[in-house]
Amino acid sequence: MNPARDDLLRTDSPLEGAGGEVLKVPGQQLLTPVRAIVECSESLVRELAQSDNEELRDDLTKLHSAARELLGLTVDLFHEAATAGQSTSEINAFRSRVRHDVGNVLNQVLGYAEMLLEDAADGFPAALTVDLKWLHASGKQMAVLIERLGKRRLLAETADPNGELPVVTSGPDVKLAPSETGKILVVEDNQANRELLARRLTSEGHTVVTAENGRIGLREVAAKDFDLVLLDIVMPEVDGLQVLERLKADERLRDIPVIMISALDEVASAVRCIATGAEDYLSKPFDPVLLRARIGACLEKKRMRDREKMHLAQIEAERRRSDELLHVILPDEIVQELRLTNMVEPRRHESVAVLFADIVGFTQYCDTHAPEDVVDDLQRLVEAWEEIALQCEVQKIKTIGDAFMAAAGLLKPLDNPVLNCARCALKMIEIGRRLTPHWPVRVGIHIGPVVAGVLGRWQYLYDLWGDTVNTAARIQSHALPGAVALSEAGWHRLSDVAEGESLGTVELKGKGQVEIMRLVTLKTDL
């Protein structure tokens, strides 16, 4: 110990600032709690030197080391203050250094003392618990004095006239309900504070990863998923505020809550951190109960945000699923109209080719086969027909039992919709022959105007109505097995590109005598 420096702390050394400002430094008040901490920690280390509890001895050694560092730092800082310039800016700089440098070491002292007190019930000698509590109370006294020094009012105004230290206790024994645990990143350049904070958080059930500076912290948070970041402000290379700004600028990382920690208890610093996106701000040395409460609140908010994101993702997944189902039931163009207007306007379409396909002998097949086989065989055939219709630009409308109804030139303009239906029909007949049970298929095609719209409230159905639809269905019933039959209007559209033969005239309900043509082959692939 330097005697001259020790003497400095035994007397009040007024520092005059610009404008007559005076900052009185009651050295004895600051030195007394520091000496109490050193003496208590030294006594505890000596008393428990032979203890079998290696972890206890290690914590006490670290506590004593931090106490001695606190004493030397306090003496050095006030010696510097007594010999440095006396301007207001220099006094303010001195205040900041005291809050940061002394506060950092004091945080270690209080942290180890609090952890030892929490473990006191597990084998800690009861006779020494009193010393440990006195040490902790002395640390709290030191924290009060440091806080007062950081404020604009004169420190001398807070001193007791008799020179007594303010009485500081550990406060009520606040018990918090167990909070949620999470994966926490601690970014702190001071190794002792970093390890102390990590141990405390780990003991409370959190998974903790540490980083010794902002650069490493950014690398960790980019590579791993964290529920919370505890971020020191004053750090080398990349400081805490720069790290915070980068996190909040990253779309992937911006929702991770961040609690800023600092030995600088400045309103401006806290405001800037909160404005940049920090969830909270804690000054060192921080109360363990308050730290636990703030972390618990942040993790709860994070869980709520995660649940909200999951809920929104589920809603989006349901919306996509709903869209997929609508696209299965309705044509794409109709789905788009339904989404935009919440309704589908009925329309009349001219020159629409309507196709009906039917399986010959399907009723007898159903009577002699198991239901599972019937549905399975029909499913394979209908899926193949749907694929063929898509290739031929023919819109499937619906299936009616074993009948398949489709249309061309309805929602998409085509040069010759009958030709598209004819191609589709020939392929449908061919696939019916190839697939087991080798069903014969007959197809009827007619062209004319139709009315189209959506029916139903609980189960949508896009359907067609009109004479064209009825005629196509009746023509199909007169087709030969494995062949395509067309009305005279339909054949008129194919006569130049197809070969066919007349099946004669038949009586169609509502139409009278009508000639029906059989499509033999198409002359073109156009």
| CATH assignment of the domain containing 280 | 3.40.50.2300
Of 135-139, 204-208, 411-415, 498-502, minimum mean pLDDT range = 135-139
In the chain, what percentage of residues exceed pLDDT 70?
79
Most confident region among 21-25, 118-122, 289-293 by mean pLDDT: 289-293
Instruction: Specify the CATH number for the domain of residue 371.
Output: 3.30.70.1230
Task: Give the model's confidence band at 20: pLDDT under 50 very low, under 70 low, under 90 confident, else very high.
Answer: very low
User: What's the CA gap between 136 and 117, in Å, rounded?
Assistant: 9
Q: Confirm whether 127 is domain-assigned.
A: yes
Task: Give the model's confidence band at 444: pLDDT under 50 very low, under 70 low, under 90 confident, else very high.
Answer: very high
pLDDT greater at residue 400 or residue 203: 400
Cα–Cα–Cα angle for 71, 77, 82, rounded to 5 degrees: 125
- Tell which phi-psi region holds residue 163, choosing left (phi > 0), alpha (psi between -120 and 50) or beta: left
β 207-211/183-187 pair status = parallel
Average pLDDT, the chain: 80
Q: Confirm whether 356 is domain-assigned.
A: yes
Q: Is there a single domain that holds both residue 12 and residue 152?
A: yes
For the chain, how far is it from start to end, CA to CA, in angstroms?
104
User: What's the CA gap between 25 and 28, in Å, rounded?
Assistant: 9
Predicted confidence (pLDDT) per residue in 357-397, tens digit: 999 999 999 999 999 999 999 999 999 999 999 999 999 99
Question: Can you give the residue range of the structural domain that contains 504?
Answer: 332-522
pLDDT at 485: 97
User: What's the CA gap between 480 and 140, in Å, rounded?
Assistant: 101
User: What's the CA gap between 491 and 515, in Å, rounded?
Assistant: 10
pLDDT at 95: 65
Residue with tokens 């339904």: 338
Q: Confirm whether 402 is domain-assigned.
A: yes
Q: Is there a single domain that holds both residue 148 and residue 270?
A: no
Last residue of one domain, picked from the residues 306, 324, 347: 306
Q: Confirm whether 82 is domain-assigned.
A: yes
pLDDT at 363: 92
Q: Is the pLDDT reported for residue 16 higher than 80? A: no
Q: Confirm whether 351 is domain-assigned.
A: yes
pLDDT at 154: 32
β 280-283/347-359 pair status = unpaired
Q: Is there a single domain that holds both residue 239 and residue 141?
A: no
Q: Is the pLDDT reported for residue 435 higher than 90? A: yes
User: What's the CA gap between 431 and 386, in Å, rounded?
Assistant: 12
Q: Confirm whether 15 is domain-assigned.
A: yes
pLDDT at 427: 97
Q: Confirm whether 170 is domain-assigned.
A: no
pTM summary value: 0.50
**Is residue 189 helix, strand or coil?**
coil
Q: Confirm whether 430 is domain-assigned.
A: yes
Closest C-alpha to 422, from 449, 393, 400? 393
Q: Is the pLDDT reported for residue 68 higher than 50? A: yes
pLDDT at 350: 93
Q: Is there a single domain that holds both residue 433 and residue 488?
A: yes
Of 7-11, 29-33, 99-103, 259-263, minimum mean pLDDT range = 7-11
Q: Is the pLDDT reported for residue 474 higher than 60? A: yes
pLDDT at 12: 40
Amino acid identity of residue 348, one-letter, is R
Judge contact between 34 and 135, C-beta under 8 A: no
- Tell which phi-psi region holds residue 222, choosing left (phi > 0), alpha (psi between -120 and 50) or beta: alpha
Q: Is there a single domain that holds both residue 23 and residue 67?
A: yes
Q: Is there a single domain that holds both residue 287 and residue 374?
A: no
Task: Give the model's confidence band at 70: pLDDT under 50 very low, under 70 low, under 90 confident, else very high.
Answer: confident
Of 11-15, 107-111, 219-223, minimum mean pLDDT range = 11-15
Residue with tokens 């010959």: 360
Find all residues with CB under 8 Å of 59, minimum gap 6, and list them: 112, 115, 116
Of 54-68, 95-109, 119-133, minimum mean pLDDT range = 119-133
pLDDT greater at residue 117 or residue 165: 117
Predicted confidence (pLDDT) per residue in 212-256, tens digit: 999 999 999 999 999 999 998 888 888 899 999 999 999 899 889
Find all residues with CB under 8 Å of 15, minimum gap 6, and list them: 22, 23, 24, 25, 81, 82, 86, 91
Average pLDDT over residues 198-209: 87
User: What count of other Cβ atoms lies within 10 Å of the Cβ of residue 112?
Assistant: 29
Q: Is the pLDDT reported for residue 35 higher than 50? A: yes
Question: Which pair of structure tokens corresponds to residue 70?
Answer: 């606190």
Amino acid identity of residue 193, one-letter, is N
Predicted confidence (pLDDT) per residue in 137-179, tens digit: 777 777 777 766 655 333 333 334 344 434 444 444 444 444 6
Average pLDDT over residues 400-424: 95
pLDDT greater at residue 222 or residue 44: 222
pLDDT at 274: 87
Q: Is there a single domain that holds both residue 518 and residue 464?
A: yes
Find all residues with CB under 8 Å of 227, minimum gap 6, and list them: 182, 183, 184, 256, 257, 299, 302
Expressed in percent and rounded to 5, the helix, strand and coil fractions of the chain are 50, 20, 30
DSSP labels, 126-182: HHHHHHHHHHHHHHHHHHHHHHHHTSSS-GGGGS-TT-PPPP--------PPPPPP-
Q: Is there a single domain that holds both residue 135 and residue 201?
A: no
Instruction: Specify the CATH number for the domain of residue 104.
Output: 1.20.120.230
pLDDT at 450: 97
Predicted confidence (pLDDT) per residue in 252-299, tens digit: 998 899 998 876 656 677 788 888 889 888 877 666 778 888 888 888
pLDDT greater at residue 513 or residue 80: 513
Average pLDDT over residues 81-99: 64
SS (H, E, C) 123-137: CCCHHHHHHHHHHHH
pLDDT at 417: 97
The total number of structural domains in the chain stands at 3
Cα–Cα–Cα angle for 33, 37, 43, rounded to 5 degrees: 140
pLDDT at 165: 39
Which H or E run contains 30? helix 27-47
Q: Is there a single domain that holds both residue 493 and residue 382?
A: yes
pLDDT greater at residue 260 or residue 525: 260
Task: Give the model's confidence band at 92: pLDDT under 50 very low, under 70 low, under 90 confident, else very high.
Answer: low
Q: Is there a single domain that holds both residue 16 and residue 71?
A: yes
Chain centroid to CA 286:
30
Q: Is there a single domain that holds both residue 341 and residue 400?
A: yes
Q: Is there a single domain that holds both residue 349 and residue 297?
A: no
